[in-house]
Structure 1
Amino acid sequence: MELELTRPQLVRWRSAVFAIFFASGLSIATWASRVPAIKHTLGVDNIQIGLMLLGAGIASIVGLSLAPIVLARFGARSGMLTAMLVFAVGVAIIGMGTDIAESYVVVVGGLILFGLGNGALDVMMNIEGAAIEKQSDKTILPLFHAFFSFGTVVGAGIGALAAWWGVGVVVHCSIIAVAIVLMAFVTHAMVPAREITMDPDEGEKRHWRERLHTSLSAWREPRTYALGVIMLGMAFAEGGANDWLALGMVEGHDTTAAVGALGLAVFSVSMTVVRVFGGPLVDRFGRVATLRVLAGLATAGLLLFILAPNTPLVFIGAALWGAGVSLGFPLGMSAAADDPAKAAARVSAAATIGYISFLCGPPILGFVSEHIGLLNTLYILVALAIASGLASGAARPIAGSTVGAGHRAEHR
């Protein structure tokens, strides 16, 4: 039997998921903003910092893989609460490991919890966002991802102020951890029961091998890999910008470091703006057409960024690049969740591809750039953006799903 939400219930549910996306972004920026202080206090080098990031990344992928099992066994309401508590504890341990224990091992332990909780939450909050889309019959996931971006902006700002005022890492991380715990319990109370939210339900308890078989089922579907191409191209291009755009302006276009940082800011603002306003565009023109246009914008922006003869055109290229990659990840997640019965496994698979792209993409670009130069290396992103556009047909809604189909016929 299909249960209907009242309007106030839907608003509370949607508000809770906005807050959860925000909390995830806040936690990530809290860690990232204090890396210099952590490095200084522990006396570690860049290689050790890289190993920290690797540990968190591997833990994230484990969390992504476990999320479908947690969803089926406990539901998103309890699963998201648990995941948020896990990464909140991880954030607190990062602070304590830095300023109290002054232990590299303790900080790595905190990062493992941080990555595990955030990875599991990534799947569950995207499935909740997709369920809200179906209840509303509107594309909302891009706006949810915009709130993740808002969380990173707020977290980075708080981190900058904490560093400026000389606030210790343990104090800063503990305050953020408490805030996340409070958000976890408040949002838990606002999320409806699993029957309404379209959570997968195991029914009778099954053997762990059966649950594992179900969670891995998406990897046997060709559509998963086609969606993976979309997310691979866009996640690679987004991660590449985060790590190499500013340096590309400095080394490739002879700008100052401040101008390079401003270029990255233009990219980030452009991406966030399109995420805020992207949902109505998708509802008007459909996922496939939107993704193809954005892939074209990303391609044009990258080429302009690489080839521009002056700084103003480089900034325009950065803005187009940011706009072009803005919706690849959220729309890929939305497409993966079209079928509620298989959403957990498919979103987990799609998110894993995206995470691996974020983890592996920037180091690969860095290695290649040592041989052919940074701007020339960005042609790899051009090729991936084109491939993403060519694979966009995979995001077409499946039979029975109307979210992301577009409504052009209504306007004739």
Structure 2
Amino acid sequence: MKTKQTNRIALSVYFFLSGLCFATWASRIPTLKEFFNLNDAQLGSILLVMPIAALIGTVSSGWLISKFNNRDLLLFSFLFFAFALLGISLVQSTFLLIIVLAIFSICMRVLNIAMNAQSITLQSLFDKKIIGSFHGIWSLGGVIGVLFSTIMVEFRVNIKNHFLIVALITIIAVMAAYKNTLTKDKSTTGNKLIIGKPDPFIFYLGLLIFFAALCEGGMFDWSGIYFKEVVKEEVFTYGYLIFMIFMASSRFFLDQILDKIGMPKLYIISGLLISTGTLTTILLPKFWTALIGFCLVGIGVSAIFPMTYILAGKSKKYSPGMAISIIGTYAIVGMFIGPPLIGYLSHNFGLKKAFFTLVFCGAMFIPISQLFFKTQKDNL
């Protein structure tokens, strides 16, 4: 097997495990909410910990990618990530939960930046587009994570045993894949943050990532609660599962779709799907109509992050790793505002009305993306 194919498989393992671990945590949020007896506002406040901690991870990763190869960052951040996941299931107080969630979020931020930077480097070795497939594999890991969580919930397996199984699989797999990841992929230029007038290229991409993070964060953190409390479904992971399935399957076709219709049109289609799907879920909060709505949202959000990361890799000012790290800050702000905002709105106005936040975010992809392509047509 060619070396670049071996590298691609190894990196795919990391993307898969990242999706698996994140979905494992997110799908059991309703379990934790019930265990700690939290209302929506309290849960929203605890969820604030993750974007705040992730901001630390984003800032530190900018320095780390300039000092170390991405493969080393992947290994160590993933090991701590797995231990933190297990820790979430073991803590008995909200204070300790906050501490463990902070560690979990920092590690997730570092490994995501390292993975995406390595994917851009690996893309340069291939003639065909492959980045979309990596994000598809992340979503596939998410689907498997939610599916496994659904089985655990269905058979009433406690969260400790559930998270222990996933953590052990992750630790074994990341250590096995490490030897086949790209070596010496540290960029020698573009690793320093330049303070000054905002770069329009990075700024518009950052806004797209901001709204994408707000949409995905809202679905990750609140879809299970929505199905449990609004749709009144006992197996509350169904909504999250169908969302992840359609997001994953769409990402596997992303590279071909981009070749046919291009990014400007796909941003518009994605925004329309997100808004339409969310409206369907709000106006018709029954089991099947809510599933259809979550399907549309999953298809809509599937392309935003991969497309924006591809564009970030074309920056003439920063290295791919640094560009991703910078626009990642916008993602942190989106995660900072989104899930907690939905929690506070839900506490005061109800979860259905709070989901109008996602309708607005979906609509915002249209003007921002078109403004980006208009101002950057000479640089792409």
TM range, normalised to the smaller chain?
A: 0.7 to 0.9
Alignment CA distance shift 1:110-1:10 (3 Å): same
Q: SS state of the match for residue 294, structure 1?
A: helix
**Does the Cα contact within 8 Å between 2:228 and 2:236 map onto a contact in 1?**
yes
What's the TM-score once normalised by structure 1's chain length? 0.76
- Cα–Cα, structure 1 residues 49 and 275, in superposed 2: closer, same or farther, change >3 Å? same
The alignment-based identity, stated in percent, is 26
Q: CA deviation at 1:122?
A: 0.9
Match of 1:354 in 2: 331
1:36 deviation in Å? 6.0
Compared with structure 1, are the counterparts of its residues 234 and 91 closer, same or farther at alpha carbon in structure 2 (3 Å cutoff)? closer
Residue 99 of structure 2 corresponds to residue 123 of structure 1:
no
2:213 to 225, 231, 235: 235
Distance 1:80 1:335 in 2: 23
- Report the Cα offset of residue 371 of structure 1: 5.9
Return the match for 2:61 from 57, 67, 91.
Answer: 67
Q: Give the structure 1 partner of residue 173 of structure 2.
A: 183
Q: CA deviation at 1:123?
A: 0.7
Contact 2:281 2:289 in 1 (8 A): yes
Distance in 2, matches of 1:236 and 1:243, equals 11
RMSD: 3.7
- 1:11 aligned partner: 5
1:293 correspondence with 2:293: no
Amino acid at match of 1:287: M
Instruction: Tell me, yes or no, if the aligned pair for 2:27 and 2:224 is still in contact at 8 Å.
Output: no
Change (3 A) 1:288 1:241: same
- The correspondence of residues 151-190 of structure 1 with structure 2, limited to 5 A, is 151-162=141-152, 169-190=159-180
Q: In the alignment, what sits opposite 2:126?
A: 136
Letter in 1 for 2:142: T
* 2:57 maps to amino acid: G
Aligned-partner Cα distance in 2 for 1:36–1:239: 15
Contact 1:130–1:334 (Cα < 8 Å) also in 2: yes
Letter in 2 for 1:278: L
Q: Aligned with 1:136: secondary structure?
A: coil
Q: Where does residue 392 of structure 1 map in the other structure?
A: 369
Distance 1:32 1:297 in 2: 23
- Please say if residues 64 and 122 of structure 1, whose CA atoms lie closer than 8 Å, have aligned partners that are also in contact: no
Q: CA deviation at 1:189?
A: 0.6
The 8 Å contact of residues 44 and 341 in structure 2, kept in 1 or not, is answered as no
- Partners in 2 of 1:36 and 1:299 — Cα distance? 25
CA distance in 1, matches of 2:84, 2:285: 46
Structure 1 residues 24 and 241, CA, compared in 2 at 3 Å: closer, same or farther? closer
> How far apart are 1:24 and its partner, in Å?
1.3
Greater relative contact order, per chain length (Cα 8 Å cut-off, separation 6+): 2
Shift in CA distance, 316/38, structure 1 to aligned 2, threshold 3 Å: closer
Q: How far apart in 2 are the matches of 1:261 and 1:34?
A: 8
Question: What is the aligned partner in structure 1 of residue 75 from structure 2?
Answer: 81
1:200 aligns with 2:187: yes
Deviation at 1:234, TM superposition (A): 2.8
TM-score by length of 2: 0.82
Partner of 1:336: 312
1:113 to 82, 85, 103: 103
What letter corresponds to residue 65 of structure 1 in structure 2? V
1:284 is displaced (CA, Å) by 2.8
Q: How does 1:271-290 map to 2 (within 5 A)?
A: 271-290=247-266
Which consecutive unaligned segments of at least 5 residues does structure 2 have? none
Greater CA radius of gyration, 1 or 2? Answer: 1
Q: What is the one-letter code of the residue matched to 2:277?
A: G
The separation in 2 between residues aligned to 1:275 and 1:389, in whole angstroms, is: 20
